[in-house]
Amino acid sequence: MCKDNRIIEVFTKVNNKLLTESYTYLICTRAKSSKKKAKTFLVKLEGIQREYLSSLYPTSTPDIYNLDYQGVKYTLELNLDTAILRAR
């Protein structure tokens, strides 16, 4: 398996919101986590609709998370005012 780490999207980060021109994403926290469900997860907002996207699994590096959306694996890097989504 090839690791290309190509950048898929760069977001503007404001608190727990990730913003693009088209969408707003929220980083949410579960009250209880489990082995299959991480404490944090990602939700896409469209108007008043919310769509669950993926759990955010912590890595050994602070502020870097792994996620899986529709069978594709990604890494999300959270910085002070940006977030970077990369293919894994």
Q: What is the pLDDT of residue 17?
A: 97
Report if residue 63 sits inside a domain: yes
In this structure, of 18-22, 24-28, 32-36, the range with the lowest mean pLDDT score is: 32-36
Q: Are strands 7-14 and 17-19 parallel, antiparallel or unpaired?
A: antiparallel
Report if residue 72 sits inside a domain: yes
Report if residue 2 sits inside a domain: no
Cα-Cα end-to-end distance for the chain? 10
Is residue 47 predicted with pLDDT exceeding 90?
no
In 15-81, beta strands by DSSP E: 17-19, 24-29, 40-46, 49-58, 64-69, 72-78
Number of domains into which the chain is organized: 1
